[in-house]
Every structure is written in structure tokens, then in C-alpha cells.
Amino acid sequence: MQKQREAGMDEGSSGSSGIVANVRADNTVCPQCKAEATLFVSSTDLNRQTTNHTFNYFQCQACRLVFMDPIPEDMQPFYRGGYQKIPSNLSELRAIAATETYRMQPILKYKSGGKLLEIGPWMGIFSCNAKDAGFEVTAIDIDQECVDFLAEVVGVKALQSSNPANTLSQMDETFDVIALWHCLEHLPTPWLVIERAAARLKPGGVLLIAIPNIESSEFSLLKESWQHLDTPRHIYFYPAQSLVNICLANGLTTLELTTKDKLSRSLSRGAWHAWTSSKIPIRYIRGAIGLLLYKLVWQSRNSGSGLTALFSNTSGVPR
């Protein structure tokens, strides 16, 4: 394992991606709290294979944040191949959004309307459902094509930004709901995003954060092969208690936190499917084995591949 790490590092330490030539270290400093961090896991881009470079993740010994170090200066080459294509029209988006209305459920327990900000909406599946549920939606995304689609087709207020922490600090409006669906792990300074999102919540406002669960059964079994490590696009992983702590430090209390919701279930299933696909050449066999492993692990353990948490700046109770 150690040898593989070093070999990978030598192989990938040069290149045109702005990756800093890399002397492997077992220790570094936590970017969030400046305490000592130790090597946690090393992996490469198994999902998209944009590079052979091996990336190291460390875990802070104080706040427990897991983070990549060093972070490539230019992440764009690793986003080649993109996620799913943006739909060509609103009805196509609505067809996709109809399968994800469940994501509104935790929010509707606390808020029935008002101003909602989504950070990292991508094509706007959740933003579309939030608008349809009666929220006045604002969205911040890095991708100009997504921003144009959100503004022109979905019909929400859309802002382009590669640094949502800065954008949040420049805004003067406040929101009833701020949602980050699997976005925080991509952002350069997630602790600043949480701090500034907390400052932009109305009294009693709700912050929803959904992230990959680094404490999941799948990560503990698959380690560097866990699909949702998504190296190097995922830079940061908050264990549940670390997320609760950073939110608490910003005046937010936990309304609910789960690793067993519908999204987590789907991510767990995806993780097993990806793993068997990489190991077993025969399609139907790998599908069956992947499904079996998912079911066995899901039933016998209690921590799926996704974590969804809701926080509030008051000790609010469901309406």
C-alpha cells in the first residue's frame, strides 16, 4: 500500500495541471483549525481517469476534518467529461426533478415558503422543485452555462461565482433556507462558506448541508476505491461531529442529521455498483454482485454513503 502510494506519487508528480510537485508527507497542518493532521488515505481519479496523479488526504487530529493536500491550483482539467448534460428545455428538467421531490421533504418540515438560496445547483433540479414548492429561489453556481439555464429556463435568480464564500459576504439579503446539496466538498474554503451562510440566514432560518459520508460503511470497506471520494474533485470531507461542531461555532444548532435517507441509500448503491464494475468484467454478474453487497452492507451496518443535515440559527422545532 505504502509502496503503491509512493509509486503513484512519482508517476504523477509532473504534468500540466498546476499540481505542485509532491514530496509525500505523513503530516501537515489543518487548513481549518491549524492543528496537526496526519495522512488518512491516498487515491487517484478512478471515476473519470483524467490523471494518473495520486492525491493525499489528511485528517486533522483536532477538528477531524479530512482534506486533500496539496490542492491543485487549477481544478478545471479534472472536471473534463462533466456531469450529466444540461437538459434542452424545462419539461426535460421537470421530468428529472420529479424523481427528486423527496429532497424538499426535510425542508418543508421547517419552512413552507420564503427566500431560498441554493449554492451549487448545477442544472437546477432542486432549485426547480423549490420554486414549484413556492420558494423565491436564488442560485449561485460556478458554471456559466448552468447559470444561464437557471436564469433563462428555470426562471430563478442566478449568480455565477467560483467562490461562494466571497459572494455570500457581498450579498445584503437574508434567506429562510440555504441549501448545499453535495457541493461543500468541492469548495475551496468550506468553513468560510458555512460561516457566511450562517450570517445570511434570517432568524429561525434553515441551513441544509448534504455531503458524502466519510464515516460510511462503504468508505470503511472500500477506502481509496470508494466512489464518493471522487478524487480529486472532492477536496474536503466533514465527519458528522465535525460538521456539527463547525456549525455550532457559527451559532447553528442541529435540527436533524441522517446517513440513512433516500439519497444516502442511492449513493451507497452507486458505490457498490462502481466498485464491482471496476473488478468484474461481465455486466450482469457485476450488477447482481453489486446489488447483493449493497443490500448486505446496508442492512448490517448503519451508515450510508451520504450525510444530510439541517441546522438552524435558533433552537427551532418543526412547525
Site for Zn ion, rule CB under 5 A = 30, 32-33, 35, 60, 62-63, 65
Cα separation, 28 vs 300, whole angstroms: 36
H or E segment and range at residue 82: none
Cα separation, 68 vs 231, whole angstroms: 9
Cα separation, 118 vs 140, whole angstroms: 6
Q: What does each C-alpha distance from 168 to 20, 156, 159, 162, 197 come to in angstroms? A: 30, 17, 11, 12, 7
Which CB, 63 or 165, lies closer to Zn ion? 63
Shortest CB 38 distance to Zn ion, Å:
11
Shortest CB 194 distance to Zn ion, Å:
14
Q: Is 53 helix (H, G, I), strand (E, B) or coil?
A: coil
To which residue does cell 434553515 refer?
A: 206
Q: How would you list the strands of the sheet with 66-68, edge to edge?
A: 27-29, 36-43, 55-60, 66-68, 236-237
Which set of grid coordinates corresponds to residue 144?
A: 456559466
Shortest CB 213 distance to Zn ion, Å:
19
Shortest CB 165 distance to Zn ion, Å:
17
Which CB, 63 or 168, lies closer to Zn ion? 63
Q: Is 10 helix (H, G, I), strand (E, B) or coil?
A: helix
Shortest CB 67 distance to Zn ion, Å:
9
Which set of grid coordinates corresponds to residue 178?
A: 440555504
- Centroid of chain to Cα 218: 16
H or E segment and range at residue 247: helix 240-249
Which CB, 62 or 95, lies closer to Zn ion? 62
Query: Any idea what DSSP says for residue 86?
Result: P
Shortest CB 29 distance to Zn ion, Å:
9
Q: How many CB atoms lie within 10 A of CB 279?
A: 11
Which CB, 6 or 36, lies closer to Zn ion? 36
Which CB, 65 or 179, lies closer to Zn ion? 65
Which CB, 63 or 263, lies closer to Zn ion? 63
Shortest CB 35 distance to Zn ion, Å:
5
Which CB, 33 or 206, lies closer to Zn ion? 33
